[in-house]
Amino acid sequence: MKIKKLLMDNQGTMSLAIQRDDNWIVLRLAVKEIKKNHLLAFCDDLIYFLQYRETHMDEIDEIILSASSKSFVRSDMTEVMVFKPILYRDFMLSERHVINNGRGMVKNCMASAYPILKAYEFITRHTFPPIKPKKAYYENPVYYKGNHLSFVGSGSEVSYPDYATVLDYELELGMIITKEIRNADEKTALDSIGAFCVFNDFSARNVQIPEMRQTGFGPCKAKDFASSISNVVVTPDEILPYIETLKTRVIINNKIVATSQMNEFIFPLGQAVAYASKGETVYAGEFMGSGTIANCSGLENGYLLENGDIIRLEIDRIGFVENVIKSKVKS
């Protein structure tokens, strides 16, 4: 099931919308159409709706299938961000991204060291040791907690802070948690994911090395200013059976600059979410990112952002997130 959220009128009325074939059904209108007004409570709340659907799938299907054209999305309705997370964790599940990103970080942010890296890798045919993941990376699915209050939806303008000079993006799979878990096993953790989306983790790379390598903290100012999610989310039944075959694309100003596939995670998604629940409660409404899909950041593929760029990230079967970039850095 594909779901998005709409602003229906200038009074601020909101409703989720569900895709049915080539049409989008406005849930609030469909519920009213069959006179099930007691269900209006979940019509504008993604988490509540997905929780209700878990135990009332037949009823939800009936509402959507019986909806007439009176419940279709109208041109005067506006897409808005589908939900606001209560907490945000971001994993780093692609080893190739970690290595390639480190190489790009040295090239773009530590230029004096880049010739040494190139020479070492040319002579030895091995990865430059400082950019290789440490042992702990392979033992548990590591993550950091970011700023859940700076999330925006697809179509929003993203402003980089004045201190940002290396403007980057990261294409990730976003996971929306709809069940409370604690010390969960892998299956229970996977079942706690109620929907997937396309996620863009924006980054100011020039401050990331000082934050993380020189202080041992972070990232904070490198990333906390903005993240974006697709306006459309998709339930797991339409994603999990195909997840390793899903292709991804990075598109800047209508040009495909990079492609990849989601078949390189070193930990399964269920194991990652389970680790987040180890010794603490993961709550419904949390958001988790998979970490960057390999080759889908500017440091990896060589296509960094400039002022005025339109960045669009796509994942098969889910959709896209697209944002206009605003920056004071001269392009």
pLDDT, residue 330, reads 63
**149 and 70 inside one domain:** no
Q: Which residues pair with 105 in a beta bridge?
A: none
**67 and 156 inside one domain:** no
8 A C-beta contact, residue 113 and residue 209: no
10 Å CB burial of residue 10 (0-12, 13-18, 19+) is exposed
**What is the per-residue burial (b if ≥16 Cβ within 10 Å, else e) of 208-230?**
bbebbeeeeebbbebbbbbbbbb
Confidence of residue 331 (pLDDT cuts 50, 70, 90): low
Q: Is residue 126, in this structure, part of any structural domain at all?
A: no
Whether pLDDT at 214 is above 80: no
pLDDT, residue 77, reads 96
**281 and 158 inside one domain:** yes
**236 and 290 inside one domain:** yes
Q: How many domains does the chain have?
A: 2
Mean pLDDT computed over every residue of the chain:
95
Hey, how many other C-beta atoms are within 10 angstroms of the C-beta on 86?
Answer: 14
Residue 131's nearest CA partner among 157, 151, 101 is 101
Whether pLDDT at 156 is above 90: yes
pLDDT, residue 328, reads 82
10 Å CB burial of residue 152 (0-12, 13-18, 19+) is middle
pLDDT, residue 215, reads 75
CA 152/CA 156 separation, integer angstroms: 6
Token digits for 48? 């509540």
Give 267's contacts (C-beta < 8 A, 6+ positions apart). 91, 93, 141, 275
CA 194/CA 89 separation, integer angstroms: 16
**296 and 234 inside one domain:** yes
Q: Tell me whether the omega of the peptide bond preceding residue 241 falls within 30 degrees of 0, making it cis.
A: no
- Average pLDDT (54-71) is 93
pLDDT, residue 132, reads 93
pLDDT, residue 210, reads 82
Confidence of residue 273 (pLDDT cuts 50, 70, 90): very high
